[in-house]
Amino acid sequence: MYCVHCGKPAAEGEHLPCRGGRAALEPPRFCADCGRRMVVQVTPVGWSARCSRHGELTSAGASRLTD
């Protein structure tokens, strides 16, 4: 698993900046499955984040939709 805020392995390091107040205002930027940078679209009430390998994650479902 990878950190969705910095893209590094979630189990390595402290990820302090990834758990602060600023991170709470960020949609996921990296794929939790592979750590790739995702294409993210923020909308007035939500967001969507697409990994080229693992499909799209949305705030509405907060679950992964496969291509």
Partner 1 sequence: MTAAAERTHDAETAPQDAPADVLAVAREQVLERGVGLSEEQVLAVLHLGDDRLDDLLALAHEVRMKWCGPEVEVEGIVSLKTGGCPEDCHFCSQSGRFPSPVRSAWLDIPGLVEAARQTAATGATEFCIVAAVRGPDARLLSQVREGIKAIRESGNDIQIACSLGMLTQEQVDELVGMGVHRYNHNLETARSHFPEVVTTHSWEERWDTLRMVREAGMEVCSGGILGMGETVEQRAEFAVQLAELDPHEVPMNFLIPQPGTPYEQYEPISGREALRLVAAFRLALPRTMLRFAGGRELTLGDLGAEKGMLGGVNAIIVGNYLTNLGRPAQQDLDMLTDLKMPIKALSDTL
Residues binding partner 1 (CB under 8 A)? 5-7, 17, 21-22, 24-27, 29-30, 37-47
HSE toward the beta carbon, residue 57, CA cutoff 13 A: 20
CB of 23 to partner 1, least distance (A): 9
Q: Closer to partner 1 at the Cβ: 47 or 64?
A: 47
CB of 45 to partner 1, least distance (A): 5
CB of 3 to partner 1, least distance (A): 11
CA distance 59 to 24: 13
Nearest to 41 by CA among 57, 63, 53: 57
Give the pair of three-digit tokens for residue 34.
């592979």
